[in-house]
Amino acid sequence: MSEFASFLEKNKAAWNQRTDIHVRSGFYDVDGFRQGQTSLKPFEIDLLGDVADTSILHLQCHFGQDTLSLARLGAKATGVDFSDKAIDFARGLSQEIKVDARFVLSDVMALDLGQKFDLVFASYGVIGWIPDLQKWADTVAQHLEVGGELVLVEFHPLMWLLDEQARVPYFYTAQPDIETEQGTYTDGGEGASITSCWWNHSLSELFRCLKSAGLEMLSFEEFDHSPYPLEGMVEREPGQYIYRSRENQHLPYCYAVKARMKG
């Protein structure tokens, strides 16, 4: 058993609990999605460009809306997640809306599909659940064609330190922040008590891991708002959220990395 196995088991249980709540939430608006709305946000839409006929591996796909949004745009999409409830729901949603995508149940750090993709995509709240970022970057590299690209859009590691109840350090520590929350980041599930483990990853750590996996950076951008409304945030402009307590400060909330697999 790896040193992180018990933390990962906790997180898997937490994501199963959250999935039950999220699929019914206004936050994820599954009904709107069924009717044809995309779940993708402007940052990644810009970076991904035209994905028609592109093979895409979507890491930590949750219950599949982004994977299926990519498939609706013509991509050959594979979503991976370690939550069986999320993967079951994603498969059902795919059948229901008649949009073809493959969903695989796996820990992303142990993934070995024996296949290479044009693109690997992951977004918003992914690497903080990963205790060993080098393993995550190696998974990306292992599944990319030479010349294939990673698009990662993520909450900024500094953002978690701006929250009023912030407890996490900026730099990675092997010991996670273990928190029990009442409910989740969406509406609904107020009675649920959910315990999960979080590791903050600095930008320099991310860049180092990608480089050592064999990826070269094509672009890196930082954004001054979140496209998702998280706790304590207000809508500054339509679709742009910032912390209420930091309204007068110009701060980073998200970043986007595009990196290419070297030969």
Ligand X SMILES: C[S@@+](CC[C@H](N)C(=O)[O-])C[C@H]1O[C@@H](n2cnc3c(N)ncnc32)[C@H](O)[C@@H]1O
When the beta carbons of 173 and 249 are compared against ligand X, the nearer one is 173
Spatial separation of the C-alpha atoms in residues 70 and 78, rounded to whole Å: 10
Spatial separation of the C-alpha atoms in residues 248 and 3, rounded to whole Å: 42
Question: What single DSSP character describes residue 176?
Answer: P
When the beta carbons of 133 and 261 are compared against ligand X, the nearer one is 133
When the beta carbons of 55 and 83 are compared against ligand X, the nearer one is 83
When the beta carbons of 147 and 188 are compared against ligand X, the nearer one is 188
Indicate which single residue of 71, 75, 86, 151 sits in contact with ligand X (rule: CB under 6 A): 86
Indicate which single residue of 47, 93, 109, 168 sits in contact with ligand X (rule: CB under 6 A): 109
Indicate which single residue of 33, 82, 199, 241 sits in contact with ligand X (rule: CB under 6 A): 82
* By the rule CB under 6 A, 81 interacts with ligand X: yes
Closest approach of Cβ 163 to ligand X, in Å?
16
* By the rule CB under 6 A, 21 interacts with ligand X: no
Closest approach of Cβ 181 to ligand X, in Å?
14
Closest approach of Cβ 160 to ligand X, in Å?
13
Q: Give the three-state DSSP class for 213.
A: helix
Spatial separation of the C-alpha atoms in residues 240 and 235, rounded to whole Å: 6
When the beta carbons of 55 and 186 are compared against ligand X, the nearer one is 186
* By the rule CB under 6 A, 83 interacts with ligand X: yes
Instruction: Report the chain's terminal Cα–Cα distance, integer Å.
Output: 34
Q: Give the three-state DSSP class for 144.
A: strand
User: Is residue 125 within 8 Å of 28, Cβ to Cβ?
Assistant: no
Spatial separation of the C-alpha atoms in residues 16 and 18, rounded to whole Å: 5
Indicate which single residue of 7, 57, 66, 156 sits in contact with ligand X (rule: CB under 6 A): 66
When the beta carbons of 12 and 262 are compared against ligand X, the nearer one is 12
**Residue reference for tokens 């109840």:** 165
- Residue 174, exposed/middle/buried by CB under 10 A (0-12, 13-18, 19+)? exposed
Q: Give the three-state DSSP class for 250.
A: coil
CA distances to 17, 21, 135 from 193, rounded to whole Å, are 9, 12, 30
**What order of strands is seen across the sheet that includes strand 76-81?**
102-105, 76-81, 55-59, 117-123, 144-155, 254-261, 215-223
* By the rule CB under 6 A, 11 interacts with ligand X: yes
When the beta carbons of 149 and 154 are compared against ligand X, the nearer one is 154
What binding mask, one character per residue, do residues 124-163 give for ligand X by CB under 6 A, x or -? xxx--xx---------------------------------
Q: Which residues bind ligand X (CB under 6 A)?
A: 8, 11, 15, 60-62, 65-66, 81-83, 86, 107-109, 123-126, 129-130
